[in-house]
Amino acid sequence: MTVTEKKLIGVDLGGTTIKFAILTADGDIQQKWSMETNVLADGQMIIPDIIDSIKHHLKMYEMKADQFDGIGLGSPGTINFKEGTIKGAYNLNWTDSVYPVRDIEEGTGIPVTIENDANVAALGERWKGAGNNADDVVFVTLGTGVGGGIIAGGNLLHGANGAAGEIGHITVDPHGFLCTCGKRGCLETIASATGIVHVARDRAGEYAGDSELKAMLDDGQDISAKDVFDLAKKNDDLALIVADYVCDSLGFALANIANSLNPKYVVIGGGVSAAGDFLLDKVNKAMRVNEFATIKDSTELRLASLGNGAGVIGAASLIKMK
């Protein structure tokens, strides 16, 4: 006789798309779909849209609420776990508190768990991606900003006020660029996609050698973080200077996280991580220089493996962690 385990639903709510997946208890995706996020009218349609979409798909797949252990939802904004509310998700136009736990439970008849979006991506990579389901995993995502999530001893860290894992605001240069958070030299001002471009422009000003990147900037062209890494791979002198500085800064910050948490894996994801092994090798070298022996021997740096599918998987894993 086979025991049928209940299934999970993962929802990854973003500023432009809402991704959904139905997963087995082991985290294998069975169905997935997505819809546009309707941020009009203060984002009032978002929660009703999520409810309708789940109900519509369950009907389509001939499934019922009692076949599910729960719905996990990853969302931008500040989560109040006690109240089940989210506020300050400005890219969704949510300024006041919204009640996804109450409303989605009422609408679907399935229990709901919520978590912030950077943390669900960390949980996804930990469960089914590069984190290899280890108990101690640090995840850093390099996108428009730098985000992160820390799993220690099998638990996701929230901290006293929900800000644990905000790796982007680790200070790596106290006299560096001004960050959106108000202080200087945060990792985000250097290693995010926008930070990398900022570093390139800054270094180009004082650079006098022969470089295609320098020529592009002098020509007034828009450059991206990808351009910097693509040119660095081709040994462009200025691009290499920028890439080395970015990777040294990232390796320095990650080494200090590793020195205090001794994770099994440190996982790098987000758009910038598409630079692949070139980035990984440079960051790894910088990390090793700044780690003490026990950490060097037991903490491994890896590239994320799930891409933008990490969110729905991590959201679903919230139900297993309850």
Residues of the shown chain interacting with Zn ion in the complex, contacts defined by CB under 5 A: 169, 179, 181, 186
In the complex, least distance from residue 168 CB atom to Zn ion, rounded to whole angstroms? 6
CB closer to Zn ion, 35 vs 181: 181
In the complex, least distance from residue 189 CB atom to Zn ion, rounded to whole angstroms? 7
In the complex, least distance from residue 71 CB atom to Zn ion, rounded to whole angstroms? 33
In the complex, least distance from residue 109 CB atom to Zn ion, rounded to whole angstroms? 42
CB closer to Zn ion, 174 vs 209: 174
Measured between alpha carbons, how far is 41 from 317 in angstroms, rounded to an integer? 31
265 touches 134 (CB < 8 A)? yes
CB closer to Zn ion, 179 vs 242: 179
In the complex, least distance from residue 176 CB atom to Zn ion, rounded to whole angstroms? 10
CB closer to Zn ion, 17 vs 91: 91
Sheet containing 112-116: give its strands across: 29-36, 17-23, 7-13, 68-75, 112-116
In the complex, least distance from residue 169 CB atom to Zn ion, rounded to whole angstroms? 4
CB closer to Zn ion, 40 vs 181: 181
141 touches 193 (CB < 8 A)? no
In the complex, least distance from residue 225 CB atom to Zn ion, rounded to whole angstroms? 18
CB closer to Zn ion, 150 vs 319: 150
In the complex, least distance from residue 177 CB atom to Zn ion, rounded to whole angstroms? 10
Tell me the two tokens of residue 122: 């960390």
CB closer to Zn ion, 84 vs 147: 147
CB closer to Zn ion, 163 vs 181: 181
Q: What is the 3-state secondary structure (H, E, C) of the chain?
A: CCCCCCEEEEEEECCCEEEEEEECCCCCEEEEEEEECCCHHHHCCHHHHHHHHHHHHHHHCCCCHHHEEEEEEEECCEEECCCCEEECEHHHCECCCECHHHHHHHHHCCCEEEEEHHHHHHHHHHHHCCCCCCCCEEEEEECCCEEEEEEECCEECCCCCCCCCCHHHCECCCCCCECCCCCECECHHHHCHHHHHHHHHHHHHHCCCCCHHHHHHHCCCCCCHHHHHHHHHCCCHHHHHHHHHHHHHHHHHHHHHHHHHCCCEEEEECHHHHHHHHHHHHHHHHHHHCCCHHHHHHCEEEECCCHHHHHHHHHHHHHHHC
